[in-house]
Chains A and B, each alone.
Chain A
Amino acid sequence: MLEEHKNVGGHLDVKSSAYKTKLGVRMFLVYLVIYFGFVVINSVKPSLMGIHIGGVNLAIVYGMGLIVLALMMAMIYTHLCSKEEAKHGESDKGGSA
């Protein structure tokens, strides 16, 4: 059986929750900084977006890079969460409400 308990808020908790929440917030902050780097360059020095990089320019590389980075970080996050859940012996069905 899963070690779950109902807390004051009424939702179910499992052991890996705290880890997953912390990890999620940290990875979110990393992405946030990179995303706002893009916004800041466009706001402060837009001409920088025009510099050529391998046939295209910084705008294309940074913009498409943000999309690819989102996917890569999402995969890393999922992998780490699953590892943590396995450590606590929580199955895929863990935490269903």
Chain B
Amino acid sequence: MNYEPSYLAIGIFLTFVAFVIWLSFYLARRTRSAAGYYAAGGRIHWSVNGIAFAGDYLSAASFLGICGMIATVGYDGFLYSIGYLAGWIVALFVVAEPMKRMGKYTFTDALDSKFQSKGIQLMAALSTLIVSMFYLIPQMVGAGALVKPLLGIPRDWGVIIVGSTVIIIVATAGMVSTTYVQFLKGGLLIVFSTVLVIALFTRGIDNTPDPGGGKKFHELKTLEAELGDDGTLVIPDTTYVVPPDWDKTPYWEKGFIKLFEDCTDCALPLVWRVEKNSPTKFTLTETLFVTVMEEGTVFYNGAAKEKHKFFQVGHLSEIRQDGKVVTETEPLGPVSFLKTIRDSTAVLWGKEIIKDGTDKVSVYYQKPTSGEQVMRPGLKFKVGGAPIETVNFISLMLALFFGTAALPHILIRYYTVKSPASARKSTIVAIAAIGFFYILTMYLGLGAMVNGVVDITDNNMSAPLLARSFGSFLFSVITAIAFATVLGTVSGLIIASTGAIAHDILDKLMGLRLSERAQVISGKVSAVLVGCIAIILGIVFKGMNVSFLVGWAFAVAASANLPSIIMLLFWKKTTKRGIAASIGVGIVSAVGLILFSPSMYVRYGKLASDAPFALDNPGIISIPLSFITLVVVSLLTQKNAASVKQNNRAEA
């Protein structure tokens, strides 16, 4: 899509981001020691920490990805909201207290306080690095998507801007700044999302919603066509000309047709969706299509990007209220909003990829869907369909549930509060804030779906674009907060990664007895390295739904870390070899299965159906595998472990 930047929006955005960065620098002056850098010296109040938890957790994925997914596939996006929040139960009830009592700075330290083993140190540090990387990808992709409509610049620049900004913040400041910054933007995100949802209720629902941003609602056209006796296709509307080979194209095979239009801007014919009413009568509906030529030129609806042929989508084709069909509603409430959509029909969009000679054409076509279907699972994760789809769904729900407690950047905050009691209170504040926000995502996503604001090529921007339909101010504030959300989450992750590299690998594992100053410096160097890798990955994965990408991070975290954490706390026979093997198997199986998944095959430019592993979510295989590995290896190494432990104690 092509976007026109708004100067007011850019002004507010830059002011806000500059303020966040200034705050980081200001607070940085208080942090000098290594302990201060990693864990803020354990002196942050639990309520501040709770909202900061929320700020950490409500990443680009929550705000952009979930809303985007709900806007395009309805309820299935909300599954992520449920899973992410439910995961806190595992964190609070099972992991929080014991981890807090055991740990110092990182997940590795917690394991290390039980087993003084280099193998575990290495595996745990690696796992922190890999999970952080997986979690960084969606943040960077989200950053790229955000700046595109705001500044009117390419996505890649957004990724580079976020990457560099975070590198500067992390390399100069540290944990203290990010805790307060996370607190600030976590709070703002919730407040402004609430404002947006209230505005949404007040507006009601309209059949022809105004997408804002200086654009008008695009009325979708329908054409009637009839097969003539001589084998030609006759369209009464003479604006459109049917090419002679109309039924011999790759389009026709997939249920589409090319039509020439009387249009000076158009470089290519238009693509229409064909529905057969009878053997001789057809209904043609408008599509959106992106053509990528062999040499890389891209056309939107058959014209160059600057011609603005592309439009935003999403509306209810029929609004039903109390059994009556209406064209617009009065202001709605939280229940009547959901009820109206449930009883109405929404126009969702399907996608088909067509090879036309050397051109690759992505066609987005209308898919009128009943509100009943929109409001329950099944449009993305086709439960009730093929068994493999059901397994995929269960696998996702499993990974989301068990992933939260195993995220390195969430665990690190347990150490920034003084006591288990404070950590608990922080977590309650976090659950309340996050739970409330996740309920809002349902309204924001559905709001985008029915307000004509969805960019069908990148649904990650649905929530901010919904804000734009209410004017520049709300749009720029929400974009700035979302951008700051990305900045905060990315810096938290980079700190966790640098902790793994500088603190665990260099200091403990390689035995470099670094001075405090050298530790901080090596942390900063690692921050720059990790940041640069994140920038590259953010560019590679652009356009994918970020919530889906976060689902992968959760699956990797749950597979690699959770079995070790749980078994360490609750199974006395756990050995160091068992832990090391479990982390290793968890990482390799989860990452391996992702690399061979259908979604990755599409990334490689191959067909999804060619993927050797049919599931998109690896959790259902990799999590049990990691658990089993831990149990089996631990049982096999019982004696070994006892003697090693004694040796260690003797050395100490």
Contacts and interface: CB of A to CB of B under 8 A. Distances in A.
What band does the interface of chain B fall in when counting residues whose beta carbon is under 8 Å from A?
Answer: 35 or more
B435 A95 contact: no
A47 B384 contact: yes
Q: What is the predominant secondary structure among interface residues of chain B facing chain A?
A: helix
Contacts of B339: 55-56
Most central of A71, A75, A78, A92 by chain B CB within 10 Å? A71
Contact of B428 (A66, A78, A93, A96): A78
A49 B376 contact: yes
A52 to B, nearest CB: 8
Contact of B89 (A28, A85, A94): A28
Most central of B78, B101, B114 by chain A CB within 10 Å? B101
A11 B101 contact: yes
A64 B82 CA distance: 7
Interface string B358-380: 00000000000000100111100
Interface stretch (B213-221, B418-426, B506-514): B418-426
Interface string A1-33: 000000001111100010011001101100100
A92 B98 CA distance: 16
B85 A66 contact: yes
B419 A95 contact: yes
Given A24-B97, A70-B431, A50 B338 contact: no
B438 interface: yes
B93 A82 contact: no
A66 B75 contact: no
Contact of A25 (B82, B93, B342, B375): B93
B103 to A, nearest CB: 7
A72 B339 CA distance: 26
Contacts of B89: 27-28, 31, 35, 70, 73-74
A78 B100 CA distance: 15
Given A28-B90, A39-B397, A74-B427, A46 B378 contact: yes
B336 interface: yes
A77 B103 CA distance: 22
Contact of A55 (B336, B383, B424): B336
A83 to B, nearest CB: 12
B63 interface: no
Contacts of B114: 9-11
B335 interface: yes
B258 interface: no
Interface string B88-125: 11101110011011111000000001100000000000
A10 to B, nearest CB: 5
Contact of A28 (B93, B100, B104): B93
Interface in B345-404: 372, 375-378, 383-384, 390, 393-394, 397, 401
A63 B104 CA distance: 36
Contacts of A49: 376-377
Given A56-B338, A56-B342, A97-B104, A70 B88 contact: yes
Contacts of B439: 64, 67
B291 interface: no
B85 A92 contact: no
Interface in B59-104: 75, 78-79, 81-82, 85-86, 88-90, 92-94, 97-98, 100-104
A67 B377 contact: no
A46 B376 contact: yes
Contacts of B336: 55
Contacts of B75: 59, 63
Contacts of B529: none
B326 interface: no
B93 A59 contact: no
B335 A97 contact: no
B86 A28 contact: no
Contacts of B422: 92
Most central of B335, B375, B393, B421 by chain A CB within 10 Å? B421
A67 B78 CA distance: 11
Contact of A42 (B94, B383, B424): B383
Contacts of B98: 11, 21
Given A28-B93, A43-B390, A81 B102 contact: no
28 contacts: A12-B101, A13-B101, A20-B97, A25-B94, A28-B89, A38-B82, A39-B397, A43-B383, A43-B393, A46-B378, A49-B376, A50-B375, A56-B335, A56-B339, A57-B342, A63-B79, A67-B439, A70-B85, A71-B431, A71-B432, A75-B428, A81-B421, A92-B419, A92-B421, A94-B421, A95-B420, A96-B42, A97-B103
Given A11-B98, A58-B376, A64-B439, 19 more contacts: A10-B113, A13-B101, A21-B97, A21-B569, A31-B86, A39-B393, A39-B397, A43-B394, A46-B383, A50-B375, A55-B339, A59-B375, A63-B81, A64-B442, A78-B424, A78-B425, A85-B421, A94-B420, A95-B420
Interface of B: 42, 75, 78-79, 81-82, 85-86, 88-90, 92-94, 97-98, 100-104, 113-114, 335-336, 338-339, 342, 372, 375-378, 383-384, 390, 393-394, 397, 401, 418-422, 424-425, 427-428, 431-432, 435, 438-439, 442, 569-570
Shortest 5 CB-CB contacts between residues of A and residues of B:
A59-B376, A24-B93, A28-B93, A46-B384, A49-B376
